[in-house]
Amino acid sequence: MADKYLDLVNTPLPGRLAKALGLPRPSVLRRYTPGEAIATRPVLVAGSGSGADALAEVLLGWDVEVRRHVLPGEKLSAAVVVLDAVAAPADLAGPMLELGQAVKLLVPGGRVVALFRSSADTTDPAEAAARQGIDGAIRSVAHEVRWGATANGIILRGDAATTDPTTLGALRFFLSGKSAYVDGQFVEVSATPAGSIAGLAAATTAEGEGVPDQPLAGRTAVVTGAARGIGAKIAEVLARDGARVVALDVPAAGEQLAQVANRVGGTALQLDITAPDAAARILEHAGQRFGMLDIVVHNAGITRDKLLANMDASRWDSVIAVNIASQLRMNEEFLASPVFSDTGRIISLASTSGIAGNRGQSNYAASKAGVIGMVRAQAAAFDGVGRTINAVAPGFIETDMTAKIPPLTRQVARRLSSLQQGGLPVDVAETIAFLASDAAAGINGQVVRVCGQNLVGA
Ligand code: NAI
């Protein structure tokens, strides 16, 4: 559903009126267009040390104008602050204050990206305080930046370098229009597994050879719940990126499903994912037609809202069955099958309701928090291998589901994020396509929120 208020405040007179009355003024977000430049203005790489120097070199290879310090009055596309060597909270002042000067110079839709090491990887209290401090500071910057700009962070785990292929993949994602609705978030990056196909393909980006137009070319992806909403958009974006898509949905949605499959040049699979043979049928379909299954997007989901006091067993059970139990069962079978690729990706849809809880959604929140638990636990089995499993947690996304929310509540829900608007299905789809790509080979067991820095459960 269109956000008419957003359209209105982006015209001159209503915009001025909203400003005078102190009303929210959401900006039109900078979203990805194929062939877009990584930056149209210079990019600041703040921070000293070899990690910052090496990263600045890589950006130069991407044909980006790099600045190591703010030049008064010069507009910036992005500010990348490299804080991988901080040892104590006092070390933060220099680069953070420089970042403060940079954010004033960001163009609309500008980007702030911080790179730093995990506080979980040190036992030194001062070092841990400094590292964790960056988390708080960058979340605050995300609240402060305006005109559709965002601030996010890349947390380097173990000995991952600032120029590791996955670090660079994540940086490209955050700098691009693909991350338009990802704000105030952090992804943890481990060193890209050596020798994986993924590592080799992503490495070319470090050498300045650019990113392939179709990073998923030759891959086969299954998207559950693909007949409409977010699932249909995921199918479209994965196909745009070169994947062969198996669009899956219940038989009752067969007509819409066929339309989606035709639109993306894929195949349709009518199937209820709660069926005991669901995984076997997916593997058979992908195996027979394409020889391999590389990407699984567990998108199908349902809500059956009721206060817990009024909840009946059928509402509870159906939500758990579709949203989490089916995935647990299918993942076991995918992992055990030779049809599921050695560099396979599983990406599961969680929800901010699973992080913060939501009135009337105890069953749904249990299932979506369950997805987060599943992804974190299963990641251990994938560690160091070419396969990954991650979750994406959308906030308020403009779909049929959220169009059913009463108008006033919907207006309020839209404004309750730093970006003061709902996201679009494409925002969720772009994040999933990134996690499915080689460039994300070192991202495993993560939950990436696509929520515009929703104020709920931040
Ligand atoms: P939707 O209701 O528009 O689409 C869900 C699709 O899943 C439908 O086509 C439906 O037929 C299919 N489906 C349901 N049960 C199935 C089953 N047993 N087997 C196969 N297919 C089945 O939902 P929407 O809004 O597109 O959401 C997609 C996912 O994103 C869901 O997992 C949802 O929980 C999650 N999500 C959505 C948010 C939003 O704001 N729309 C926010 C947070 C999470």
Which residue, judged by its Cα, is nearest atom 16 of ligand 1? Answer: 300
How many angstroms separate the CA atoms of 106 and 32, rounded? 18
Ligand 1: centre distance to CA 107 (Å) = 35
Do 170 and 299 share a domain, yes or no? no
- Ligand 1 centre to CA of 403 (Å) is 13
CATH code for the domain of 394: 3.40.50.720
Same domain (yes/no): 386, 437: yes
Domain boundary among 189, 223, 242: 189
Report DSSP letters for 96-157, one per residue.
HHHHHHHHTTEEEEEEEEEEEE-GGG---HHHHHHHHHHHHHHHHHHHH--TT-EEEEEEEP
Residues 23 and 108 placed together within one structural domain of the fold:
no
Which residue from 255, 260, 371, 397 has its CB within 8 A of the most atoms of ligand 1, so it is best to mutate? 397
- Pocket lined around ligand 1, Cβ cut-off 6 Å: 224-225, 227-231, 249-250, 253, 272-274, 299-302, 322, 349, 351, 394, 396-397, 399-402
The helix/strand/coil state of 423 is strand
The residue with tokens 């949905």 is 249
pLDDT at 436: 97
Same domain membership, residue 139 and residue 2: no
Q: Identify the pLDDT of residue 204.
A: 47
d(CA 68, CA 49): 12
| Whether residue 391 is found in the same domain as residue 443 | yes
Residue 282 domain flag:
yes
Rounded Cα–Cα distance for residues 103 and 318 (Å): 47
What pLDDT is stored for residue 207 in this prediction?
47
User: Would you state the pLDDT for residue 324?
Assistant: 98
Query: Which of 189, 205, 240 lies at the terminal end of a domain, its last residue?
Result: 189
Residues 131, 175 within the same domain: yes
The whole-number mean pLDDT for each consecutive block of 10 residues of the chain, a chain of 458 residues, reads 82 85 87 92 94 96 94 96 96 96 97 98 98 98 96 96 95 97 97 65 50 87 97 98 97 98 98 98 97 97 96 98 98 95 95 93 97 95 83 94 85 90 96 96 96 81
Q: Report if residue 34 sits inside a domain.
A: no
Ligand 1 atom closest to residue 272's alpha carbon, by position in its atom list: 19
pLDDT of residue 12: 85
Answer yes or no: do 226 and 353 share one domain: yes
pLDDT of residue 210: 57
pLDDT at residue 394, rounded to an integer = 96
Q: Is position 267 within any domain?
A: yes
Q: Is residue 198 part of a domain?
A: no
Q: How far is the CA of 260 from the centre of ligand 1 (A)?
A: 15
Residue 252 falls inside a structural domain: yes
Please give the distance, rounded to the nearest whole angstrom, from the Cα atom of residue 271 to the centre of ligand 1. 14
Distance between CA atoms of residues 224 and 268, nearest Å: 10
Tell me, yes or no, whether 234 and 180 share the same domain.
no
Range of the domain at 314: 213-450
Strand order across the beta sheet in which 447-450 lies = 267-270, 244-249, 220-224, 293-298, 340-349, 388-394, 447-450
Ligand 1 probe mutation, 349, 400, 450, most atoms within 8 A of CB: 349
The answer to whether residue 455 is domain-embedded is no
Q: Which residues are catalytic?
A: 364
Q: How far is the CA of 401 from the centre of ligand 1 (A)?
A: 8
Task: Answer whether residue 199 is part of any domain.
Answer: no
The total number of structural domains in the chain stands at 3
Check if the beta carbon of residue 43 is closer than 8 Å to that of residue 77.
yes
Residue entry with tokens 């066929």: 258
Are 304 and 417 in a shared domain? yes
The residue among 156, 189, 222 that closes a domain is 189
- Give the contacts of 375 (CB within 8 A, at least 6 positions apart): 348, 350, 389, 390, 391, 445, 446, 447
CA 62 to the chain's CA centroid: 22
Secondary structure (DSSP) of 349-393: E--THHHH--TTBHHHHHHHHHHHHHHHHHHHHHTTSS-EEEEEE
Neighbours of 144 (CB within 10 A): 12
Q: How far apart are CA 23 and CA 456, in angstroms?
A: 20
**Top mutation candidate among 182, 248, 250, 315 for ligand 1, by most atoms within 8 Å of CB:** 250
Residues 178 and 142 in one domain: yes
Answer whether residue 33 is part of any domain: no
How far is 19 from 26, CA to CA, in rounded Å? 11
Question: Are 180 and 239 contained in the same domain?
Answer: no
Task: Identify whether residues 398 and 444 lie together within a single domain.
Answer: yes
